[in-house]
Amino acid sequence: MGKILIINPNSAATVTEGIEAAVAPLGPHFEVTDIPHGPATISSDEDVARGGLNVLELARMRPDARAIITACFSDPGLDLLRAELSIPVIGTQEAGILTALARADNFGVIALSKTSIPRHLRKIRAMGVESRLTGELPLPGVSAEASGRDEAVYALVRDAAVQLGERGAGAIVLGCAGMAPIRARLERDTGLAIVDPVLASAAMALGTVIG
């Protein structure tokens, strides 16, 4: 029987390794892969569009997968995959936000850069949950890899989480799959509910295939 396939649409192997570590506590139900010819970070709308096609191409090659997760906060290829595949397809942004709303009345998001925010807001409006968004704060254009491994970047993430908490966000969604390694530490340091969207999507996908 096949596994749940988690597709990291960028080429950063360290991000893929971080995703593997994040979902490991859920058991041996997952296979994590990336797109070697993709960009190191999905940052622009063009990256998202190209990444979506890459994710679709890879998914077509894996009919054994029980479910698929698009492991990027911009959910590249999500609609394409859902239109073509009969198996569950989970987007990390959707899963992260829904998980945050299960933990708190209001949520905030930390993005890699300012350019990501309009794209995220379009999705949030489409989900109909804009009224529960306290705010989204950007990092200064850091890479997906640095977002979960660089100490200087961690300090910026922590400060952004504290600011969002002061604005009334009861849960903070990490706006990049690369941030998976810092979730637990950030929750301890801030006292806030911190949602790793990859782990959230993995839990949702697992719930659809067990039984």
- My answer on whether 56 and 42 are in the same domain is yes
pLDDT at 1: 67
Q: Among candidates 143, 139, 135, 150, which has minimal Cα distance to 113?
A: 139
pLDDT (0 to 100) of residue 43: 83
Q: Supply the range of the domain harboring residue 175.
A: 93-196
- My answer on whether 177 and 104 are in the same domain is yes
Q: Is the same domain home to 48 and 103?
A: no
Instruction: Check whether residue 68 and residue 139 sit in a common domain.
Output: no
Q: Which of 64, 85, 69, 78 is nearest to 23 (CA)?
A: 69
98 and 186 share one domain: yes
Which pLDDT score, from 0 to 100, does residue 117 have? 95
Mean pLDDT in each 10-residue stretch from start to end of the chain (211 residues)?
A: 91 90 94 90 88 94 96 93 96 97 97 94 96 97 91 97 98 94 96 96 94 65
Positive/negative CA dihedral, 157, 162, 165, 171: positive
Distance CA 95, CA 69 (A): 10
> What pLDDT is attached to residue 10?
87
CA distance readout (Å), 163 to 67, 99, 113, 119 = 36, 20, 16, 22
The pLDDT value given to residue 108: 98
Res 40: pLDDT: 80
The answer to whether 139 touches 160, Cβ cutoff 8 Å, is yes
CA–CA gap between residue 33 and residue 21 (Å, rounded): 13
What pLDDT score was predicted for residue 59? 95
- The answer on 130 and 113 residing in a single domain is yes
Pair (63, 98) in one structural domain: no
Q: 69: burial class by Cβ within 10 Å (0-12, 13-18, 19+)? A: buried
The domain tally of the chain equals 2
CATH code, domain with 146: 3.40.50.12500
Same domain, 41 and 119: no
